[in-house]
Amino acid sequence: MCWASTLLAVPALTVLALEFIASSRADAVVRAAAEQVDNMRVEYPDASHARLRFSFPFQNSGTQQGLVIDAHACLQPIGLRYSDLHPIVSLINPEAPREDGYWEAVIIKPGKKLTAEVEIWLTAPDVRKAVAELGEFRVDINFKYYCRTPMKYKRQVITLNAAEFKEVAPERRKAVSVKPPKKEIAPDAPAVPVPTRLLMPGDDIIDVVKEYTADIAKPGDIIALAESPVAIMQGRVAYCEDIKPRYLARRLNMVFDMNSSLSSVYSLEMAFREVGTWKILYGMFRGLIGKIIGRPGEFYRITGRMVAAIDDCTGTLPPFDKHVVLAPAYPQKVCQEIKEATGFDVTIVDANDLGKVDVLAITDPNRKAEVVEALKPNPQGNAGEMTPLVVIRDRRVTPTTVNVVKTEPMPAVKPATKPATEVPVPQA
């Protein structure tokens, strides 16, 4: 009976401990601050078009960073009132301004703001009259975010009056690039980044390498692939809202630092799926012991690369900024298959702007140091440059053959024999 009680008590106490950790760990609190609407202005590019704009901040009043994964604005109520004005409403993220209506996932740090802008285009035969008659209208801000806890869905109503918009001169629409500027690469650089199209799940990795390196790679070069694009082409991505986190993922993510990918319930759930429940639990136990004895990193030493490489949302370029991206599967096998198809040495790497280069797999281990040195400046970049391939130039010194002219050995010269001469000795 005593043993039975003990067995029942252990899981009960474990659950209570997890619930205590969850309740004591604060979360992000993100809201659209409607009371801080600012910079209300209207432009009339021509007689039939008007552009109304205003700004407001997303505020994070919590103690953890919040990830705003999506947001959009719309006129409400939708119906006859606006049907003749053909409204087009956009919510613009200032950290990634785009004209296609796509909201790139963005992190808001604790206690910080993100000022967004709403743009409303109206069309009417006499648009000035239509705006003057618009009067009071409502804009709904719909957004979703998560942090320690799963996704939260929020709506904020902003009520405005068209009469309060200040008329300004029409501004020329600025061209917006969704790609960061290219890094300047010297002609003699040891590594040449190779731009590609957006790589998608189902793309053949070997075909991609052949297509984009055919006119660039030379005999002896190494082809380096970034790990995330390889994983994406393998289909190792999961849209965060399609991931249903288990109870342990919703509780144990609380013990990770907020800057860790595993602080997200979605990333931790994928970690459980990658290596199994018991390995994660054992890794966390070893990690706790490691912190006590002053040996950090024990968790990842136990769980391995498949867990350490998991990228949470915002870790990859759109549209995968809303996905959890896993580590590539069988990276060594992938490298070997590419080498057999192309004849080049191949490596898969994880590099960042801090100069850290992690070689996941390589066909010639003797060239690992060569790869690390060439990729320390991170020519691929980490801002969506769409250069998932890098050709590392062969800098090995090739021994050269020196032509030696053979000559006959000179005969030994015998010293000439002369009769000895007497040296006069000075007389005293």
103 Cβ contact list (under 8 Å, min separation 6): 68, 70, 71, 72, 91, 93
Helix (H) or strand (E) holding 38: strand 38-46
pLDDT, tens only, 139-196? 999 999 999 899 999 999 999 999 999 999 988 765 455 455 555 555 567 889 999 9
Within this chain, do residues 42 and 161 fall inside the same structural domain, yes or no?
yes
- Report the predicted TM-score, pTM, of the whole model to 2 decimal places: 0.81
pLDDT, tens only, 219-272? 999 999 999 999 999 999 999 999 999 999 999 998 898 889 999 999 999 999
In this structure, what DSSP letter does residue 172 have?
P
Instruction: Identify which of 183, 176, 181 has the alpha carbon closest to the alpha carbon of residue 93.
Output: 176
User: For residues 373 and 357, what is the distance between their CA atoms, to the nearest angstrom?
Assistant: 9
Instruction: Tell me the pLDDT band of 15, cut-offs 50, 70 and 90.
Output: low
In 219-373 the beta strands, taken as DSSP E runs, fall at 222-226, 237-239, 323-325, 345-351, 357-362
Domain annotation covers residue 2: no
Residue 317 CB coordination number (10 Å): 22
Instruction: Tell me the pLDDT band of 426, cut-offs 50, 70 and 90.
Output: very low
pLDDT, tens only, 275-317? 999 999 999 999 989 988 888 889 999 999 899 999 998 878 8
By mean pLDDT, which of 37-46, 91-100, 122-131, 199-208 is the weakest?
Answer: 91-100
Mean per-residue pLDDT for 59-79?
A: 89
- Provide the CATH number for the domain around residue 134: 2.60.40
- The pLDDT of residue 378 is 84
Residue 10 pLDDT more than 90? no
- The pLDDT of residue 19 is 56
pLDDT, tens only, 366-423? 999 999 999 988 887 656 678 899 999 988 765 544 444 444 554 554 444 444 434 3
Domain annotation covers residue 8: no
Domain annotation covers residue 71: yes
User: For residues 100 and 92, what is the distance between their CA atoms, to the nearest angstrom?
Assistant: 10
Instruction: Tell me the pLDDT band of 352, cut-offs 50, 70 and 90.
Output: confident
Residue 22 pLDDT more than 90? no
Residue 4 pLDDT more than 60? no
User: For residues 366 and 393, what is the distance between their CA atoms, to the nearest angstrom?
Assistant: 15
- The pLDDT of residue 11 is 55
Domain annotation covers residue 205: yes
- The pLDDT of residue 182 is 55
Answer with the one of 285, 311, 337 that is the final residue of a domain: 311
Within this chain, do residues 353 and 389 fall inside the same structural domain, yes or no?
yes
User: For residues 339 and 24, what is the distance between their CA atoms, to the nearest angstrom?
Assistant: 52
Instruction: Identify which of 245, 251, 238, 248 has the alpha carbon closest to the alpha carbon of residue 266.
Output: 245
Secondary structure of residue 157 in the 3-state scheme: strand
- Provide the CATH number for the domain around residue 228: 3.30.1330.100
Within this chain, do residues 134 and 251 fall inside the same structural domain, yes or no?
no
Instruction: Provide the number of structural domains found in the chain.
Output: 3
On whether the CB atoms of residues 342 and 324 are closer than 8 A, the answer is no
- The pLDDT of residue 184 is 58
To the nearest whole number, what is the mean pLDDT of the chain? 84
On whether the CB atoms of residues 264 and 28 are closer than 8 A, the answer is no
Domain annotation covers residue 148: yes
Instruction: Tell me the pLDDT band of 1, cut-offs 50, 70 and 90.
Output: low
By mean pLDDT, which of 39-48, 90-99, 129-138 is the weakest?
Answer: 90-99
Residue 109 pLDDT more than 60? yes
Domain that residue 35 falls in = 30-167
Instruction: Identify which of 243, 247, 210, 231 has the alpha carbon closest to the alpha carbon of residue 339.
Output: 210
288 Cβ contact list (under 8 Å, min separation 6): none
Residue type, 152: K
User: For residues 28 and 61, what is the distance between their CA atoms, to the nearest angstrom?
Assistant: 7
User: For residues 376 and 178, what is the distance between their CA atoms, to the nearest angstrom?
Assistant: 25
Cα 300 to chain centroid, rounded: 20
> Bigger pLDDT: 21 or 111?
111
Within this chain, do residues 98 and 217 fall inside the same structural domain, yes or no?
no
List for the chain the helix, strand, coil content (%; round to 5): 30, 25, 45
Instruction: Tell me the pLDDT band of 14, cut-offs 50, 70 and 90.
Output: low
Answer with the one of 260, 285, 311 that is the final residue of a domain: 311
On whether the CB atoms of residues 227 and 309 are closer than 8 A, the answer is yes
Within this chain, do residues 336 and 231 fall inside the same structural domain, yes or no?
yes
Phi, psi at 401, each rounded to 5°: -90, 125
Ramachandran class of 252: left when φ > 0, alpha when ψ lies in -120 to 50, beta otherwise? alpha
Within this chain, do residues 274 and 347 fall inside the same structural domain, yes or no?
no
Within this chain, do residues 58 and 161 fall inside the same structural domain, yes or no?
yes
User: For residues 209 and 345, what is the distance between their CA atoms, to the nearest angstrom?
Assistant: 12
- The pLDDT of residue 425 is 38
Within this chain, do residues 49 and 135 fall inside the same structural domain, yes or no?
yes
Domain annotation covers residue 158: yes
Within this chain, do residues 198 and 337 fall inside the same structural domain, yes or no?
yes
User: For residues 139 and 338, what is the distance between their CA atoms, to the nearest angstrom?
Assistant: 53
User: For residues 42 and 54, what is the distance between their CA atoms, to the nearest angstrom?
Assistant: 9
Domain annotation covers residue 406: no
User: For residues 204 and 113, what is the distance between their CA atoms, to the nearest angstrom?
Assistant: 42
pLDDT, tens only, 27-53? 899 999 999 999 999 999 999 999 999
- The pLDDT of residue 409 is 53
Within this chain, do residues 353 and 294 fall inside the same structural domain, yes or no?
no
Within this chain, do residues 79 and 201 fall inside the same structural domain, yes or no?
no
Q: Is the dihedral of CA 292, 148, 307, 192 positive or negative?
A: negative
Within this chain, do residues 199 and 71 fall inside the same structural domain, yes or no?
no
Domain annotation covers residue 318: no
Mean per-residue pLDDT for 117-143?
A: 93
